[in-house]
Structure 1
């Protein structure tokens, strides 16, 4: 099971905890790009190849569009 190209749950949580009003424009842009790339990676990675933590993270964040694969 490979989570290559995926954000860790810790990275997602730390990004979500800090309000955008306290982030620089670079941090906000970086979070946006990382989130978009993680969503794409979630959509193309078959469910059976995801680790348990990624399955949980995808379910919590709603990035589980390929749950039937």
Structure 2
């Protein structure tokens, strides 16, 4: 369950598990847009006001806490290990 204004955990996982090579340009753009908007919303929302599920979701998907410490999310690390990460 996600907090108001945040992307659901199910949507985040769905976007993360689909290989980038199978995504359309529109899907890539949507993932980036939704990810940036969700991270911005997570950064503005105080930790004390986040639900337990949102805190867990942020940890796994590189939300507020992970990005402010300049760490990769667990999902990013897993994708990288499987050779599915960004190729920039």
The TM-score bracket by the shorter chain reads: 0.7 to 0.9
4+ residue runs over 3 A deviation: none
Mapped partners of 1:10, 1:19: distance in 2: 16
Deviation at 1:62, TM superposition (A): 2.8
Q: Which residue of 1 aligns with 2:36?
A: 36
Deviation at 1:45, TM superposition (A): 0.3
Matched ranges for 1:53-68 at <5 A: 53-63=53-63, 64=65, 65=68
TM-score (norm 1): 0.84
Matched ranges for 1:45-60 at <5 A: 45-60=45-60
Q: Which residue of 2 aligns with 1:14?
A: 14
Per-residue displacement from partner, 1:3-53 (whole Å, max 9, x unpaired)?
A: 121111100000001111111100110010000000001100011111111
The alignment yields a C-alpha RMSD, in angstroms, of 1.4
TM-score (norm 2): 0.67
Note the residue ranges of structure 1 that are not aligned, 5 or more in a row: none
